[in-house]
Amino acid sequence: MDKTTARHLDPMSDAAIAASVTPEPIEAVGARLGIPADALYRYGPHKAKLSLDYIKGLEDKPAGKLILVTAISPTPAGEGKTTTTIGLGDALNRIGAKTAVCLREPSLGPCFGAKGGATGGGHSQIVPMQDINLHFTGDLHAIGAAHNLLSALIDNHIYWGNALDIDVRRIAWKRVVDLNDRALRSIVVGLGGAANGFPREDGFDITVASEVMAIFCLSRTLEELEERLSRMVVAQTRGKAIVRAEALKGIGSMVALLRDAFQPNLVQTMEHTPAFVHGGPFANIAHGCNSVIATRSALRLADYVVTEAGFGADLGAEKFLDIKCRQAGLAPNVAVVVATVRALKMHGGVGLKELVNEDVAAVKQGAANLRRHVENMQKFGVPVVVALNRFLSDTPAEVEAVRGVLSDLGVNVHVCSHWADGGKGAEELAHEVKNLAEKPSAFHPLYSDDLRLSAKIETIAREIYRAGEVVFTPEATRRLAELEAQGFGHLPVCMAKTQYSFSADPKLRNAPSGHVLPVREVRLSAGAGFVVALTGDVMTMPGLPSVPAAEHIFVDADGVIGGLS
């Protein structure tokens, strides 16, 4: 294949659509929120970080309204949570509400794997999409370097005499790389003789799974970041005492590596809505939302802040509300649950290839998944609205079927076309969100801090997953008791469960109930401030598919990067 002919942007691609608009200078984007140019640390003309000094000065300002975008249980049909976050942000600005969006920053792993980038799609994208999807402002690299410095310090400590008496069989701190690389999941390090240290089992996670990332996203200040890093538990001694990260003496260096990264990133949507894109923790073993410092800063600069949480509402929204909001003192004013007719049909039993055909019965059946998520959001005391992302194959009868299923919940459904039309396609949704946000927020977390850890898990399983029973392995029970004895019982729990089902079985779509939720393993994230409950195999290092996206990415003769999606 001739290189030059092969190397053109597909005109229908997200990259080509993004290239069709001229971004504003980032100073102009900041000015929309009243940010002075000298508070921006620029990375080229269209990206900037917001200085920590400027952020400190915002503390006394009143906070705007916080809008959470979440979704039904994901299916291969797609639902469009990120595009809705962007489209709603654009639409709010169009109707005169001063709005910013807050998103997670992409990881290189999915960009080169199967999932693609994380900058939206169609006419609801953040730009410059190539920059944001690749290195952006280097935050993930900084987090990876800080994480791996601690890893090196642990093995170095053991090499030079192991004064802390670390048990090499009980080191909980792995290494990270920001790529999908299955060969690194399980490895043996320290081979090759005495000069290379002590052989031991180890492994790599993808960087977004690092506890450093979770801490980065939950800290309000650089001081809090340092405190949280210090109290991470990285290993046990031969006598089973916990070893905290601070004992390795590298916390100052880790903070030095993270200092610049910790400043929130500012970019813009294709319609020039200010977008804070900062932090991106895994949504299974961590809480899956953008950084607290970005969200809090945005709330003091804009009247409305639209943000999203990872996976479906049972996982992403629950953690957003029970972990991020609890820890950061945030209270959402509206929850938007995103769905598509196509995805609801899949929950209703239709196969991927038959989705183009009208099937009102399947929509009605599958809308039970949506209804369940809406009910769950209402349990947190948050007003809810549904955004139905339009596909050309949707029929009026199918849309009406969705409305019908939700009619007794007092929740409106708005058909949105921001993917095709930009913010204009979400104006109706924006008006309702603005109205709902005027109501006084009755938000409350699902459970209180003083519940026992097992009871917290049972509460989530009963109220959100509608499980009939939670079964703990003996090891999980033992570990929960140990954690409570060690003083970690007050922490919230972070559920690691498949995103494809309310249950722990990814094949069980729609709205199962009465199922058994197995809790197989429990892990402590002492710095992030939560206890992870694993209900199945949790992948913290993805693999690449047989034909990875990496094969299709290129730089053309003009230096433009193509093939990213």
Residues between 234 and 273 that touch its own copies (CB under 8 A): 249-250, 252-253, 255-257, 259-260
Q: Is 78 flagged in the annotation as binding?
A: yes
Position 555 contacts its own copies (CB under 8 A): yes
β-bridge mates for residue 461, sequence order: none
Nearer to its own copies, 152 or 397 (CB): 152
Three-class secondary structure of residue 14 per DSSP: helix
Is there a catalytic annotation at residue 550?
A: no
Position 41 contacts its own copies (CB under 8 A): yes
Q: Is 264 flagged in the annotation as binding?
A: no
Nearer to its own copies, 183 or 485 (CB): 183
CA–centroid distance for 230 within its chain: 24
Q: Interaction with its own copies in 178-207: which residues (CB under 8 A)? A: 178-193, 195-197, 202-203
Position 222 contacts its own copies (CB under 8 A): yes
Q: Cite the DSSP H helix spans in 320-384.
A: 326-328, 341-347, 360-379
Nearer to its own copies, 156 or 448 (CB): 156
- Residue 387: in which H helix or E strand, if any? strand 384-389
Stretch that binds its own copies, among 139-147, 238-246, 301-309, 448-456 (CB under 8 A): 139-147
Q: Are 556 and 562 in contact (CB under 8 A)?
A: yes
Q: Which of 469, 442, 491 is nearest to 535 (CA)?
A: 469
Q: Are 414 and 387 in contact (CB under 8 A)?
A: yes
Report the alpha-carbon distance of residue 512 to residue 503 in Å, rounded: 7
DSSP state for residue 314 in the 8-state scheme? I
Q: Are 346 and 76 in contact (CB under 8 A)?
A: yes
Among 8, 61, 135, 379, binds its own copies (CB under 8 A): 135
Contacts of 282 (CB under 8 A, 6+ apart): 206, 208, 209, 213, 288, 310, 540
Position 134 contacts its own copies (CB under 8 A): yes
Is there a catalytic annotation at residue 83?
A: yes
Q: Interaction with its own copies in 513-552: which residues (CB under 8 A)? A: 543-544, 546, 548, 550-552
Q: Interaction with its own copies in 455-514: which residues (CB under 8 A)? A: none
Position 141 contacts its own copies (CB under 8 A): yes
Q: Is 82 flagged in the annotation as binding?
A: yes
CB of 503 to its own copies, least distance (A): 23
Is there a catalytic annotation at residue 160?
A: no
Position 42 contacts its own copies (CB under 8 A): yes
Is there a catalytic annotation at residue 311?
A: yes
- Residue 103: in which H helix or E strand, if any? strand 99-103
Position 29 contacts its own copies (CB under 8 A): no
Q: Which stretches does DSSP call E strand in 109-193?
A: 120-121, 124-127, 166-171, 175-177, 187-189
Q: Active site residue: 104, 345, 434, 479, which one? A: 104
Q: Active site residue: 391, 443, 488, 530, which one? A: 391
CB of 73 to its own copies, least distance (A): 24
Stretch that binds its own copies, among 175-183, 235-243, 323-331, 441-449 (CB under 8 A): 175-183
User: Mask 322-341, x = binds its own copies (CB under 8 A)?
Assistant: --------------------
Position 424 contacts its own copies (CB under 8 A): no
Residue with tokens 């290494």: 175
Position 153 contacts its own copies (CB under 8 A): yes
Q: Which of 427, 313, 255, 251 is nearest to 73 (CA)?
A: 313
Is there a catalytic annotation at residue 249?
A: no
Q: How many residues bind its own copies (CB under 8 A)?
A: 76
Q: Active site residue: 115, 300, 424, 462, which one? A: 115
| Side-chain-facing half-sphere of 227: CA atoms under 13 Å | 8
Q: Active site residue: 118, 245, 261, 283, which one? A: 283
Nearer to its own copies, 37 or 516 (CB): 37
Position 363 contacts its own copies (CB under 8 A): no
Stretch that binds its own copies, among 80-88, 95-103, 114-122, 146-154 (CB under 8 A): 146-154
- Residue 217: in which H helix or E strand, if any? helix 211-218
Position 169 contacts its own copies (CB under 8 A): no
Position 108 contacts its own copies (CB under 8 A): yes
Contacts of 474 (CB under 8 A, 6+ apart): none
Q: Is 76 flagged in the annotation as binding?
A: yes
Retrieve residue 186's tokens. Answer: 């399980």
Retrieve residue 222's tokens. Answer: 């650089």
Three-class secondary structure of residue 460 per DSSP: helix
Is there a catalytic annotation at residue 419?
A: yes
Contacts of 119 (CB under 8 A, 6+ apart): 14, 18, 82, 106, 125, 126, 127, 129, 132, 133
Nearer to its own copies, 111 or 415 (CB): 111
Contacts of 371 (CB under 8 A, 6+ apart): 405, 406, 409, 511
Q: Is 514 left (phi over 0), alpha (psi -120 to 50) or beta?
A: left
Nearer to its own copies, 117 or 383 (CB): 117
Which residues define the annotated binding site for ATP? 75-82
Catalytic positions are: 81, 83, 104, 115, 283, 311, 391, 419
